[in-house]
Structure 1
Amino acid sequence: MMPARRTLALLLQILPLLATASPDPAPRSNGTDFIRASCGETLYPDVCYSSLSTYAGSVQQSPGQLARAAVAVSLARTQKMAAYLADLSRRSAAGPGAEPRPASGALRDCLTNMGDAVSEIRGSLKQLRQLGNISGGGASREGFRFQMSDVQTWMSAALTNEETCTDGFEDVREGAVKSDVCGRAGEVKKVTSNALALVNSYVNKEAP
């Protein structure tokens, strides 16, 4: 009976340890909760969370890492949209099925707008990567705000360019091209809007 009692005693000691043991997903869980809470401050929280939750492991609970991830996602989406518009413009301008002039002009203008947005977001991401995480205090806080003001300006300009893209289709008759372009551009705008909101949040938290 003694061996059985010892085994039981050993199990009673081990079980609490097994119950409280937490594998590696804990940091990711913390990062996921942080991203969800941060996305609650944006205009499109569901889009924000779905596009950034995969970065939980690297973001952890860092506003700076989250802002960089958001800007990187915005850049990727805007680049993809610009490539789509370039291809669509080539196809729409050729052959007997070419789009009417208003739609063709709106496409060209939209492509220019998206190209400008790509440049602005790329500049923002480069600046964020150069900054790294700067904890505030004295001159460093002022320097952080000064450099981040460029990021805020560029991201705001990028969002304006994306909005201008869809504004250019207001006088274009309803059709597949208008619906498709405006729908896709609308999703890109949401991601960029969220990125700008998270950049602003980063600035406010790092250098209030």
Structure 2
Amino acid sequence: MKSPRPLILLSFLFSTFFLQLHAIPAAAPASYPPDTGSGTGTDFIRTSCNSTLYPEICYSTLSRYASTIQQDPAQLASVAIGVTLSKAKRMANYVSNISRQADYGSDQRAAAALHDCFSNFGDAVEEIYGSLKQMRQIRSAGTSRASFRFQMSNVQTWMSAALTDEETCTDGFEDVADGQMKEEVCDRVEYVKKLTSNALALVNRYAENGMN
């Protein structure tokens, strides 16, 4: 009979990582006021979302913040990152919960894939949060063109890394047998990947035109 100590140790490390993840503050968009019905902001968002790979998802998730975004591309990128951060944290929490259950199951490949997925999403959350902090710093004070380019390069790098981490999560399920758990996890990850992709596209657009 196998010793349960490796699983106990893994669960302990996993719980510690979970607590560290919760130390990251909640995403800012939750405190933004809802759209008041002005068409100017929503028109700007719809036009901007056309530059993303998933324009309908982009518009549906960001239009509620039209009164905050108005016609500000920096604010649009910041809100998109914040929305993505919120969803990525929820995904990490979800994977954490089902991973602990999987530790006591018989499918060790599934358990390993879930733990790897949580680790990847922990990294993604930190990278997206770093991007959001950098965007706020850019917007909080005036900056030179060189400084703007450098800071935006950081945002682009972190958002790209987050997208890669999310993709790595789903790659880890390739050897896991098909089933409801695998399908649900991959579907949820796919949605977060689309949000991350859209946010990155809006960041790229702002980086290209922000100091023009």
Q: TM-score higher than 0.5 here?
A: yes
Q: CA deviation at 1:134?
A: 7.0
> 2: CA distance between counterparts of 1:205 and 1:160?
25
RMSD: 1.7
> 2: CA distance between counterparts of 1:72 and 1:35?
15
Percent identity of equivalent pairs: 56
Aligned to 2:205: 201
Compared with structure 1, are the counterparts of its residues 134 and 29 closer, same or farther at alpha carbon in structure 2 (3 Å cutoff)? Answer: farther
Compared with structure 1, are the counterparts of its residues 199 and 89 closer, same or farther at alpha carbon in structure 2 (3 Å cutoff)? Answer: same
Match of 2:92 among 63, 82, 93: 82
Task: Say whether residues 1:71 and 2:81 are aligned partners.
Answer: yes
Match of 1:111 among 105, 115, 118: 118
Corresponding letter in the other structure for 2:134: Q
> 1: CA distance between counterparts of 2:186 and 2:106?
16
Q: CA deviation at 1:91?
A: 1.3
Q: CA deviation at 1:101?
A: 1.0
Contact 1:134–1:206 (CA under 8 A) maintained in structure 2: no
Q: Return the TM-score normalized by structure 1.
A: 0.82
The answer for unaligned runs of 5 or more in structure 2 is 1-34
Aligned to 1:18: none
Q: CA deviation at 1:33?
A: 0.2
Contact 1:64–1:133 (CA under 8 A) maintained in structure 2: no
Deviating 4+ runs (over 6 angstroms):
none
Q: CA deviation digits over 1:100-128, x for unaligned, max 9?
A: 11111100100000000000000000011
Aligned to 2:138: 131
Q: What secondary structure is seen at the aligned counterpart in 1 of 2:68?
A: helix
Q: Return the TM-score normalized by structure 2.
A: 0.80
Contact 1:110–1:165 (CA under 8 A) maintained in structure 2: yes
Q: CA deviation digits over 1:128-162, x for unaligned, max 9?
A: 11110777xxx811110111100000000000000
Q: What secondary structure is seen at the aligned counterpart in 2 of 1:174?
A: coil
Compared with structure 1, are the counterparts of its residues 44 and 99 closer, same or farther at alpha carbon in structure 2 (3 Å cutoff)? Answer: farther
> 2: CA distance between counterparts of 1:129 and 1:78?
19
Contact 1:35–1:56 (CA under 8 A) maintained in structure 2: yes
Q: CA deviation at 1:205?
A: 1.2
Contact 1:30–1:61 (CA under 8 A) maintained in structure 2: yes
Contact 2:102–2:110 (CA under 8 A) maintained in structure 1: no
Aligned to 1:156: 160
1:180-191 equivalences under 5 Å are: 180-191=184-195
> 1: CA distance between counterparts of 2:85 and 2:36?
28
Task: Say whether residues 1:37 and 2:47 are aligned partners.
Answer: yes
Contact 2:41–2:66 (CA under 8 A) maintained in structure 1: yes
Larger radius of gyration: 1
Q: What secondary structure is seen at the aligned counterpart in 1 of 2:144?
A: helix
Compared with structure 1, are the counterparts of its residues 162 and 62 closer, same or farther at alpha carbon in structure 2 (3 Å cutoff)? Answer: same
Corresponding letter in the other structure for 1:199: V
> 1: CA distance between counterparts of 2:141 and 2:48?
19
Task: Say whether residues 1:122 and 2:129 are aligned partners.
Answer: yes
